[in-house]
Structure 1
Amino acid sequence: MKIGVPKEIKNNESRVGMTPAGVFELTKNNHTVYVQTDAGFGSGFFNKDYEEAGAIILNSIEDVYAASDMIVKVKEPIEEEYTLIKPDQVVFTYFHFASSETLTRAMINSKSICIAYETVEEKDGSLPLLVPMSEVAGRMSIQQGAKYLEKPIKGRGVLLGGVPGVPPGKVLVLGAGIVGMQAAKMAAGLGAHVTIMDINMKQLRYVNDVMPNHVVTEFSSEYNIRKRIKEADLIIGGVLIKGAKAPKLITKDMLKDMRPGTVIVDVAVDQGGCFETTKATTHENPTYIIDDVVHYCVANMPGAVPYTSTVALTNVTLPYVLRLANQGWVKACETDTTLSKGLNIVKGRVVYKEIAEAFNWETEIS
């Protein structure tokens, strides 16, 4: 199979869809890999690294799409890429279709096979290709939140860990999944007082068992959220519903109950966000302020640490890329139910019901 690795062109996105190690494995299996020139530069991988691993370097993104049977990326295609995608071409990447009807319609029109990292699902319900980026984003949410709490950036002027004689900052984490757990771990490590909320009591019991004493759990309800936001310095939104839009846990009217300079970080922004006032931002312009509350809603947060993120991502995507290349997408998805859950759009048909439901379309799933 001919596999293409284009350079990511989303704002400040420096990750790349495949490391030289991945190229080596594919070429060892007699596949051809085309890598766009400088595609890995932002992640610390250079053209010569890819060439030594067996890749063919192509000068333009147009050349990569035109030459390839399968495209392996990190982020969803943006408008400039829509017309480059060919019928029957496999595109394997993060899509987050439920947050963009424009992207969804473009991929339907392309007649391609769209396999989304974020919906590849194990039998136990876990999402193996979402986990590493959720880990990165969860940890980064505290790192970024702590920075934007500084007064020069309009934050409350609170040091999360406090100092002797001054109590630590208070962090509220909504969702006790991968993002929430990693955020709580980082915040606790800084010495902050952390409250983590979820509706899954089994998960809250687990959090209670493994986290230090200054991480407390609470059942998530609108009443409890409204109570906690009044005292929180930093609020992390990390709620995920597989393939669907995130629920709006904090509404615009709740902002008035927060103290001026409170920072909210919406890690669920790729799925539409779990704050009503969320709108996607970029690393170039990461924040905005509504009702004196600082919003950090960068849609590709792990892109700021591209080396770590690229290696972590390709560690888990490569086995699936090899399966798709060795068997073709039809057989690979027939024999691997985990991978088949990643099928979102196939040759113009939406085959993942949560996407259709997100736009109130009548699903065509058979």
Structure 2
Amino acid sequence: MNIGIPKERRAFEYRVGLFPAGVKMLTQLGHTCYVEHDAGLGAGFSDQEYIQSGAKIAYTPHEVFGRADLLLKVARPTMEELEWLQPESALAGLLHLGSARQDKIEKLIEKEITAISYELITLPDGTVPIRKPLSQIGGILAAQIGAMLLQNNEGGKGILIGGMPGVPPAEVVIIGAGIAGTCAARAFVGMGAHVTVLDTNINALEVIHDAMPCVVTMVSNQVNLERACAYADIVVGAILVHGEHPPIVVTRDMVRAMKPRSVVMDISIDEGGCVETSRPMTNEKPTFIEEGVIHYCVPNMPSVVARTSTYAFLNAALPFIMELVTKGVDQAIAENTSIESGVSTYQGRVRHLSSLSPLAQAE
């Protein structure tokens, strides 16, 4: 099989669709990997490393897209990239088609592309193995970036997140006690913040309470959300509804009631966001001010730690990639229910409607 690994063209996407060790595993099995020139540079992988792993370097994107039976990407393709895709080929990546423009979905159907969304792949026990490490990274980054956004030079309130003797720490409110929310709570606690976590799932709150007794846990409802947002220095929206647009739980009125120069971080923005005032931004301009509150809403948040996140999500994705390549895409989908669960379009037909919400974002 011919596998294509293109350079990512989405703004400030530094990750790459396969690392050199993965290329070596595939080429040793007799498959051919075409890696676009400098595709791995943002994640710290040189062309020479790919060549030593058995890859062929392509100097134009047209060659990579034109030769690939299976294209391994990170971000959802741009419209230009969709035009380059060969009809009836396969595409795998963090596609997030639930927040894609409808014309992109129509182009996948028109060209009979088999589109496999890593973030939708689900194991029989209900876990999402590829989404998990990215959620973990997003949660940890929320603490790193949130602490910085409270600084005066970033327009923040001038608060040291962990406080000082005689000076209280920052108040952090996290909405969602899933993987991202739990990792965010752990990171914020480690920095000395006072943390409150809200969720509708009592069992999830119990896990956090047992693991981090210093964290305040609350049932998520309108009254508690209004109360928590009003005193928060940082609000982190970390709600994920698997394959669907998350509900809006933080309203404009709640944001308006927050203290000036507080921070809202909507880390579920890659699926549409859970804060009414959110809108997708980029790593070039990651923040905006709405209702006097700083908003951070970057869909490809883990890209700023490209090497770590490339290794993390591909370590989880590689077994599925190997199966797609060794068995062939059609057979792998037919035999592996986990891979099938990630199929958004298949040979010109929609496979999983839950991943294809009509709610669209800018890209």
Q: What does residue range 96-135 of structure 1 map to in structure 2 within 5 Å? A: 96-102=96-102, 103-135=104-136
After superposition, the C-alpha distances for 1:316-359 in whole angstroms (9 at most, x for unaligned) are 11111110000011211222111110011112221112135x22
- The answer (yes or no) to whether the contact 2:6–2:39 under 8 Å persists in 1 is yes
- The answer (yes or no) to whether the contact 1:113–1:343 under 8 Å persists in 2 is yes
% identity of equivalent residues = 38
For residues 225 and 159 of structure 1, what CA distance do their matches in structure 2 show?
24
CA offset at residue 256 of structure 1?
Answer: 1.4
Q: What does residue range 1-366 of structure 1 map to in structure 2 within 5 Å? A: 1-102=1-102, 103-211=104-212, 213-356=213-356, 358-359=357-358
Secondary structure of the residue aligned to 2:209 is helix
Coordinate RMSD, CA, aligned? 1.2
Secondary structure of the residue aligned to 1:229 is helix
For residues 221 and 156 of structure 1, what CA distance do their matches in structure 2 show?
27
For residues 139 and 105 of structure 2, what CA distance do their matches in structure 1 show?
27
Secondary structure of the residue aligned to 1:73 is strand
Quote the residue 1:364 is aligned against.
Answer: none
For residues 35 and 359 of structure 1, what CA distance do their matches in structure 2 show?
33
Secondary structure of the residue aligned to 1:114 is strand
Aligned residue type for 1:53: S
For residues 72 and 298 of structure 1, what CA distance do their matches in structure 2 show?
22
Gaps of 5+ in 2: none
- The answer (yes or no) to whether the contact 1:87–1:347 under 8 Å persists in 2 is no
* Aligned positions, number: 358
Secondary structure of the residue aligned to 2:4 is strand
Secondary structure of the residue aligned to 1:83 is helix
Secondary structure of the residue aligned to 1:74 is strand
For residues 110 and 261 of structure 1, what CA distance do their matches in structure 2 show?
47
Show structure 1 runs of 4+ deviating over 4 A. Answer: none
Moved more, 103-112 or 144-153: 103-112
Secondary structure of the residue aligned to 2:173 is strand
Secondary structure of the residue aligned to 2:240 is coil
- The answer (yes or no) to whether the contact 1:86–1:111 under 8 Å persists in 2 is no
Aligned residue type for 2:166: G
Aligned residue type for 1:166: V
CA offset at residue 124 of structure 1?
Answer: 1.8
- The answer (yes or no) to whether the contact 2:230–2:254 under 8 Å persists in 1 is no
For residues 206 and 311 of structure 1, what CA distance do their matches in structure 2 show?
28
